[in-house]
Chain A
Amino acid sequence: MIWKNGAKAAFALGFDLDGRTIWRNKAHKLPGGQNFIKGVSIGDFGVKVGTARVLDILDEYDMKATWFIPAEIVEDNPKTVEKILARGHELAHHGYDHRGYYGNTAEEQIAYIERCQNVFLKYAGVKAKGFRGTGSILPETEKWLYTDGGFVYGSCGVSGEACTWIEVEGEKTKAVNIPCRDEMMDDYMQTVMNSYPQVLVGMPRIAPYRNPYENWINEVKGMIRYGTAGSAAFHPQIAGTPGRAIMLERFCRYLAENSSVWCSACIDLAEYFFEHNGDGNHE
């Protein structure tokens, strides 16, 4: 499809504000890990420093992004979330505490997802309309999510390359897929490092910064070539560090100067899709 302003592709900058959750969860698996302070400090950087730096870069290029935030981080940092929303960005669902576990049954999983929505409502005054999972969910949960659950798009790791109606077990839902291919668009995977516990496992080298940067550009070029849309999983704990912020700024400049790609938050892409493809009532 042709996107807004005649663009061939649409792209949504996505930021996973995970804070310390991933680090804390990993440390808890080690003896005495609940008192460790080094690993979690890497995650804390994202909330303490990285977010503000990313917000300034987005303002500089007048870009609206989607922030996928675990509900626990929202509870603990309501002022940070307030600032993100005040600057026109979107808040989206990213689990409660970034554990992979959503519950054993669809009822449990739906209750878990709703519990996060209530946190958003209480602390940020909004419910999420977009979903990026931190673990797997049952097909029944997914059907609810994208049909009656109030979620109008999903933006998950490996979900195909098409920006189109999400199907669950062959059945069309009312929500649209905004792909986000991990190894191309996840800066955490590309340049995170720690030794205890090892992140990533096996301690591969931190990539030359131009490698992920060129992957981002190549992915956007692919979207333009095939007329699709997609998002990224950038992490303020990575993207907000001084050198990576330089790379993020370069990427935003590339996006801003490229008329072939329309950039906005995931929800804007989803709504534009609905305007041109119907409201999802597939009668």
Chain B
Amino acid sequence: MSKDRMRWPEGKSCAVMISVNLEAEYFAKMYYPDENIDLATGEVAALGWEGMTFGLPKILDALDAHNIKATFFVLAAVADKYPDAIKEIAIRGHEIGCHGYYHENLALLSIAEQRSVLKRAIDRLEEVSGKKVKGFRMPEGEMTEETLNIVKDLGFTYSSSLSDDDVPYLREESQIIELPIHWELYDLPYFVYTWDPQIPQGQSRSANANDVLENWKIELEGALKYGTLFNLQLDPQATGEQGRIFILEELLDIVAQNEKIWIATGEEIASYFEVSQDN
């Protein structure tokens, strides 16, 4: 009775999308979405800087070593602060998507404000990267159907923000393509830790990287078995750390060697889905 298995290009069994949420110090907004917390000093600022300075190069090298193109969902504020990093990502052939401007909790903004902030973010990202922005990933927090209507209207071809499926689908109201994500495939919530402010608030201990890799391997087994989209989300300060980068390298080794896996960017997956819908 399961719905029909998703058909991937060239008879592949599943799709793997490697995405990077480039947030620098704004990662803290995921834990404090409604508070004006200090992003400019202290551990939050330091972790953001560390990720951009030490983590990002390792992630880019791991991707190059496996000849894999990823999708970088970038905050425009990060492009303002680190324009050379964004240019480098674009030059190395990766897709640039939009993750908001200042990591807004979009659901709490008016329609006009959402439209304005996302328009400014696209313009800034395209200006800095020299690439057309087609993908949208909601800054962690919330959004509404209206947000997706705006996203569609602004010319994005896809969103990668929701969790009600594990293969691409067309969102009914806005008719935008959704490439679903799931928390278990996001590195940051497993690893991030700061004392002040408390992140995570419950001060649970940072995960063992071997355990996280094990979860991801099981997820990959599931993706192959069920024909789903394995949509990995990375933050350079999490997996890009020197003692953790090996989990990305090992995962990419496995993925790159498996001929049944289609490795693609968000743009490529959305484009394939759009064409397959028309046929």
Q: Which residues of A contact B (CB under 8 A)?
A: 27, 30-33, 35-42, 44-45, 48-49, 52-53, 55-56, 83, 87, 191, 193-196, 198, 200-206, 208-210, 241-247
- Docked-complex contact A41 and B162, CB < 8 angstroms: yes
Interface centre among B138, B190, B200, B214 (most CB of A within 10 A): B200
Chosen A-B contacts, 22 in total, with CB atoms closer than 8 Å, are: A35-B145, A35-B146, A36-B142, A37-B145, A37-B148, A42-B163, A45-B163, A48-B164, A49-B165, A195-B33, A195-B140, A195-B141, A196-B105, A201-B202, A202-B204, A205-B190, A205-B206, A206-B184, A208-B212, A242-B222, A242-B226, A243-B218
**Residues of the B chain whose Cβ atoms lie less than 8 Å from the Cβ of A194:** 183
Q: Is B161 an interface residue (CB 8 A)?
A: yes
Q: Is B31 an interface residue (CB 8 A)?
A: yes
Q: Using a CB-CB cutoff of 8 Å, which residues 169-202 of chain B contact chain A?
A: 180, 182-184, 189-190, 200-202
- Docked-complex contact B145 and A242, CB < 8 angstroms: no
Known A-B contacts: A35-B145, A193-B189. Give 14 more (CB < 8 A): A33-B142, A35-B146, A37-B143, A37-B144, A37-B145, A45-B166, A49-B164, A193-B184, A195-B30, A196-B141, A200-B202, A202-B201, A202-B203, A242-B230
Partner of A41, one of B140, B164, B211: B164
Q: Is B275 an interface residue (CB 8 A)?
A: no
In the assembled complex, the CB of B117 is this many whole angstroms from the nearest CB of chain A, namely 17
Given contacts A45-B165, A83-B1, A241-B166, contact A205 B221 (CB under 8 A): no
- Docked-complex contact B162 and A37, CB < 8 angstroms: yes
Q: Complex: how many Å from CA A191 to CA B203?
A: 17
Interface centre among B105, B163, B182, B202 (most CB of A within 10 A): B163
**Residues of the A chain whose Cβ atoms lie less than 8 Å from the Cβ of B31:** 195, 203
Partner of B204, one of A40, A49, A204, A244: A204
Look across to chain B and name the residue whose beta carbon is closest to the beta carbon of A204. B204
Give per-residue flags for B53-66: 1 if the beta carbon is below 8 A from chain A beta carbons, else 0.
00000000000000
Q: Which residues of B contact A (CB under 8 A)?
A: 1-3, 30-31, 33, 105, 107-108, 138, 140-146, 148, 161-166, 180, 182-184, 189-190, 200-208, 211-212, 214-215, 218-219, 221-223, 225-226, 228, 230
Q: Complex: how many Å from CA A196 to CA B1?
A: 33
**Residues of the B chain whose Cβ atoms lie less than 8 Å from the Cβ of A195:** 30-31, 33, 140-141, 189
Q: Complex: how many Å from CA A279 to CA B108?
A: 57
Interface centre among A32, A35, A52, A203 (most CB of B within 10 A): A203
- Docked-complex contact B166 and A49, CB < 8 angstroms: yes
**Residues of the A chain whose Cβ atoms lie less than 8 Å from the Cβ of B166:** 45, 49, 241-242
